[in-house]
């Protein structure tokens, strides 16, 4: 325990005071426990500017979902106040005759350049890191990534629009599963800077309902009230549950029809077969009697 006590040291935590100043956490705790001011220490304040990586989680980019990754990196660089580097050319190193302000500006710009380039490379997979680390500036890396992967996503966007148009819902598959699959395609189109109005997406869901939903589709189309994506999915879920209950009730009714007669031990189907056999025998006997009566009439006429 003595060794642990020697190793452990109180960690100084920066806290925001009542007057907006940032003070040492140890002093604040001391004041809160009977210090001169007697004020209670405020909880630790974590901001995006102070510790951006704690609040912004970046997945390493490996060639997929470039638009999403780009937005996250931009947000991180904005929080660090170095996003301007992406639009600036690197400054040349000032000469001996440069003023102190020019040297400070160059140093600040150079530090921001190193920080920006490092964050972009750090957010790439190992394969892409090994390729783009040879680029000198953050702007060059950013432009090269945009040129390569934005063009690819534009082609993917055209494919997704075609897939969205050709999507067909089928009977026998849960309707909400198919709606979610259609919405997944729509969300991918929107992520690639495609514009699909919510009302258009609702109309596509209604228009693509399977054949067995024809009457319900007409019912939805004749409604004057506009549906949101959430409401149309709620209505479809309720309708699907109602249909499943009806099917279950019909199945139970059909199973009860094929009951077994406890007294005779014969199934209802067997009784039906016997009944049909009796009717056939009666018809046969009737035909035989009719032939006999005709023969008798002939003999009488003779």
In a domain? residue 262: no
Burial of 69 (0-12, 13-18, 19+ CB in 10 A): buried
Residue linked to tokens 């580097």: 85
> Is 123 found in the same domain as 61?
yes
> Is 201 found in the same domain as 123?
no
Beta bridge partners of 267: 260
> Is 131 found in the same domain as 76?
yes
pLDDT at 285: 62
User: In whole angstroms, what is the distance from residue 36 CA to residue 30 CA?
Assistant: 9
> At a CB cut-off of 8 Å and minimum separation 6, what does 207 contact?
217
User: In whole angstroms, what is the distance from residue 27 CA to residue 231 CA?
Assistant: 55
User: In whole angstroms, what is the distance from residue 149 CA to residue 66 CA?
Assistant: 6
Of 153, 182, 209, the residue at which a domain comes to its end is 153
> Is 174 found in the same domain as 138?
no
In a domain? residue 219: yes
> Is 179 found in the same domain as 96?
no
User: What is the token pair recorded at 169?
Assistant: 């819902």
User: In whole angstroms, what is the distance from residue 206 CA to residue 201 CA?
Assistant: 9
In terms of DSSP bridges, do strands 14-16 and 22-24 run parallel, antiparallel, or are they unpaired? antiparallel
> Is 58 found in the same domain as 101?
yes
In a domain? residue 202: yes
pLDDT at 201: 92
pLDDT at 7: 38
> Is 161 found in the same domain as 96?
no
Domains contained in the chain, number: 3
Residue linked to tokens 């009697």: 289
> Is 20 found in the same domain as 77?
no
Cβ–Cβ under 8 Å, residues 144 and 132: yes
Of 153, 180, 210, the residue at which a domain comes to its end is 153
pLDDT at 10: 40
User: In whole angstroms, what is the distance from residue 229 CA to residue 206 CA?
Assistant: 11
In a domain? residue 132: yes
In a domain? residue 294: no
> Is 179 found in the same domain as 131?
no
> Is 184 found in the same domain as 213?
yes
> Is 64 found in the same domain as 146?
yes
Q: What angle do the packed helices 198-207 and 229-257 form, to 10 degrees?
A: 20
Domain of residue 82: give its range.
Answer: 52-153
pLDDT, tens digit only, all 302 positions of the chain: 444 344 333 434 343 444 444 444 444 444 444 444 444 444 444 454 555 555 567 788 888 878 888 889 999 999 999 999 999 887 778 777 878 888 888 889 989 999 999 999 999 999 999 999 999 899 999 999 988 887 766 667 778 888 889 999 999 899 999 999 999 888 888 877 667 889 999 999 999 999 999 999 999 988 878 889 999 999 999 999 998 888 887 766 666 655 544 444 445 555 565 556 666 566 666 565 655 555 555 554 55
SS (H, E, C) the chain: CHHHHHHCCCCCCEEECCCCCEEEHHHHHHHHCCCCCCCCCCCCCCCCCCCHHHHCCCCCECCCCHHHHHHHHHHHHHHCCCHHHHHCCCCCCCCCCCCHHHHHHHHHHHHHHHHHHHHHHHCECHHHHHHHCCCCCHHHHHHHHHHHHHHHHHHHHHHHHHHHHHCCCCCCCCHHHHHHHHHHHHHHHHHCCCCCCHHHHHHHHHHCCCHHHHHHHHHHHCCCCCCCHHHHHHHHHHHHHHHHHHHHHHHHHHHHHCCECCCCCCEHHHHHHHHHHHHHHHHHHHHHHHHHHHHHHHHHHC
pLDDT at 89: 81
In a domain? residue 246: no
In a domain? residue 3: no
Of 101, 118, 153, the residue at which a domain comes to its end is 153
In a domain? residue 136: yes
> Is 203 found in the same domain as 166?
yes
Which of 38, 50, 43, 35 is CA-nearest to residue 17? Answer: 43
């Amino acid at each position: 325990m003595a060794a642990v006590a020697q190793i452990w040291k109180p960690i100084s935590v920066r806290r925001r005071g009542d007057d907006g100043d940032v003070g040492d956490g140890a002093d604040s705790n001391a004041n809160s426990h009977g210090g001169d001011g007697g004020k209670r220490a405020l909880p630790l304040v974590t901001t995006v500017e102070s510790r951006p990586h704690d609040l912004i989680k970046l997945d390493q980019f490996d060639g997929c979902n470039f638009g999403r990754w780009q937005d996250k990196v931009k947000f991180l660089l904005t929080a660090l106040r170095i996003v301007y580097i992406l639009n600036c050319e690197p400054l040349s190193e000032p000469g001996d005759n440069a003023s102190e302000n020019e040297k400070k500006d160059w140093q600040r710009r150079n530090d921001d350049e190193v920080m920006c380039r490092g964050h972009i490379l750090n957010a790439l997979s190992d394969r892409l890191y090994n390729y783009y680390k040879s680029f000198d500036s953050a702007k060059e890396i950013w432009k090269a990534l945009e040129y390569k992967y934005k063009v690819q996503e534009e082609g993917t966007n055209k494919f997704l629009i075609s897939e969205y148009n050709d999507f067909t819902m089928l009977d026998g598959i849960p309707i909400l599963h198919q709606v979610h699959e259609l919405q997944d395609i729509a969300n991918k189109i929107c992520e690639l800077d495609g514009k699909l109005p919510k009302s258009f997406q609702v109309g596509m869901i209604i228009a693509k309902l399977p054949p067995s939903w024809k009457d319900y589709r007409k019912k939805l189309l004749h409604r004057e009230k506009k549906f949101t994506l959430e409401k149309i999915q709620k209505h479809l879920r309720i309708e699907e549950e109602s249909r499943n209950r009806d099917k279950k009730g019909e199945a139970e009714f059909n199973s009860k029809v094929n009951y077994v007669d406890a007294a005779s031990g014969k199934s209802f189907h067997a009784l039906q077969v016997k009944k049909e056999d009796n009717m056939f025998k009666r018809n046969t006997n009737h035909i035989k009697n009719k032939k006999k009566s005709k023969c008798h009439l002939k003999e009488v006429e003779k």
